[in-house]
Amino acid sequence: MKFVIATGLLLLSCTSGFVTPHYKSSSALNGAKKDTYEVTLLPGDGIGPEITEATKVVLEKLCERCDFSLNLKEALIGGIAIDEKNDPFPKESLDQCLASDSVLLACIGGYKWDTNPRELRPETGLLKMRKEMGLFANLRPAKVLPQLLDASTLKREVVEGVDVMVVRELTGDVYFGEPKGIDTDADGQRIGYNNMIYSESEIDRIARVAGDVASKRGGKLCSVDKANVLDVSQLWREVVTSVIDKDFPDVTLSHMYVDNCAMQLIRWPKQFDTIVCGNIFGDILSDEASMLVGSLGMLPSASIGEDGPGVFEPCHGSAPDIAGEDKANPLAMILSAAMMLRYDLSRPQEALLLETAVEMALDANVRTADIKQDNDKCKLIGCKEMGTIVADLVETIDMPSVEEEKIAV
């Protein structure tokens, strides 16, 4: 695909390599293309409001250019919701999310709430949102862009061409399992415990998502568990094998223990196409996979359920160390908005336009601090400027054609 920046000195062409996944099974797709969509925006904490503002500027330009409307209505989640409503995910936020066509979340958390009791922690709001909205599948693409090859701490030859999708189960496992708590035993010693638990149906549905994703990508699915030690992993392995063998004949399934997978992701990540795992293993491995790309600031994600709106959010946290300094990278949130357009709003062309604009901003040699290399000769810019540059590109570059889009889940 060729696109021309018509804004200034640069005349660039680029091959769009940043195509976010195309997965949503037909049962999970949210409906027809519309002229106007209701979208709940959850700016959250830390850098959240800054990256949200940058994303809004981009979406505004996108709507103008593509002649449709997004009614962006903010709601509270995380620390700010604790401060204002004494609840990390108040009912009014949940109701608003459920009534929306889609939800775009920035990030939550911060030092201020770190010592709060569990029910008043920002993360509790996130877990509540996932559970209440039935968001059982999290898709995290980790694709190494040629423009950012040197942003990775790994050697070029290891990361060049890496394109991994981690499909993480999101509503089960040790994060939600009961019983859990901290008790005192007969000797007066405190005991902390959580329960790692999966039902057959929970494994079955995430295996189907992963099978679908893998069949639309390279056809290779690696299921990650700890079946040599954990009973719950033995069931996981049995159910995944049965689902894939029976219903996804075009997918080649392999199994890997989580400790080995953690090593293999660093040793030779190109061996992976699609990885499926439970909640806690996926939490850790998807962050590890994201480091192949170089910065958390570049990584979008989609959380989807069987029906209802999905939640689209960057993989990173609230980065309290740089909050309020205009240093945050807004690209992960902009790319999350692209995933939202594709999955929930049936606007693949607009999604591609955003993704292409992000790549072309990188081609224009501008970088936020997290992706800037010492000797890359790129201009260091802030969050706001990055948003403006992407917005200008959205306004001016040639409209990509979806027919040419790579079907890369």
The answer to the question of residue 320 lying near ligand NAD (CB under 6 A) is yes
Q: Which of 322, 338, 358, 390 binds ligand NAD (CB under 6 A)?
A: 322
CA distance 105 to 83: 18
Largest distance between two CA atoms of the chain:
75
Query: 404: which 2 tokens?
Result: 């040419």
End-to-end CA distance of the chain: 19
CA distance 393 to 398: 9
Near ligand NAD in 280-299, by CB under 6 A:
296-297
Residue 321: CB minimum distance to ligand NAD, A: 5
Q: Answer whether 180's CB lies under 8 Å from 193's CB.
A: yes
Q: Answer whether 113's CB lies under 8 Å from 120's CB.
A: yes
Query: Is 175 among the residues known to form the active site?
Result: yes
Which of 122, 305 has the CB closer to ligand NAD? 122
Q: Which of 107, 261, 334, 409 binds ligand NAD (CB under 6 A)?
A: 107
Query: Is 91 among the residues known to form the active site?
Result: no
- Give the orientation angle of helix 258-267 with respect to helix 279-293, to 10 degrees: 10
Any residues with CB less than 8 A from the CB of 240 and at least 6 apart, and which? 203, 207, 210, 223, 253, 255, 276
The values of phi and psi at residue 283, to 5°, are: -60, -50
Query: 351: which 2 tokens?
Result: 């999604």
Which of 297, 348 has the CB closer to ligand NAD? 297
**Residues binding ligand NAD: number (CB under 6 A):** 21
Nearest to 351 by CA among 30, 66, 135: 66
Q: Which of 83, 231, 259, 307 is catalytic?
A: 259
Residue 247: CB minimum distance to ligand NAD, A: 32
Q: Which of 23, 175, 198, 343 is catalytic?
A: 175
Query: Is 226 among the residues known to form the active site?
Result: yes
On the question of a cis peptide bond just before residue 179, with omega within 30 degrees of 0, the verdict is: yes
3-class secondary structure, 140: strand
- Side-chain half-sphere of 29: how many Cα atoms within 13 Å? 13
Near ligand NAD in 27-86, by CB under 6 A:
47
Near ligand NAD in 224-263, by CB under 6 A:
none
The answer to the question of residue 339 lying near ligand NAD (CB under 6 A) is no
Q: Which of 221, 319, 390, 409 binds ligand NAD (CB under 6 A)?
A: 319
Pick the stretch among 83-91, 102-110, 199-207, 396-404 that binds ligand NAD (CB under 6 A).
Answer: 102-110
Q: Which of 23, 226, 327, 392 is catalytic?
A: 226
Pick the stretch among 83-91, 312-320, 353-361, 392-400 that binds ligand NAD (CB under 6 A).
Answer: 312-320
Query: Is 344 among the residues known to form the active site?
Result: no
Binding site for ligand NAD (CB under 6 A): 47, 107-110, 123, 126, 296-297, 313, 316-322, 328-329, 332, 370
Residues tagged active-site? 175, 226, 259, 283, 287
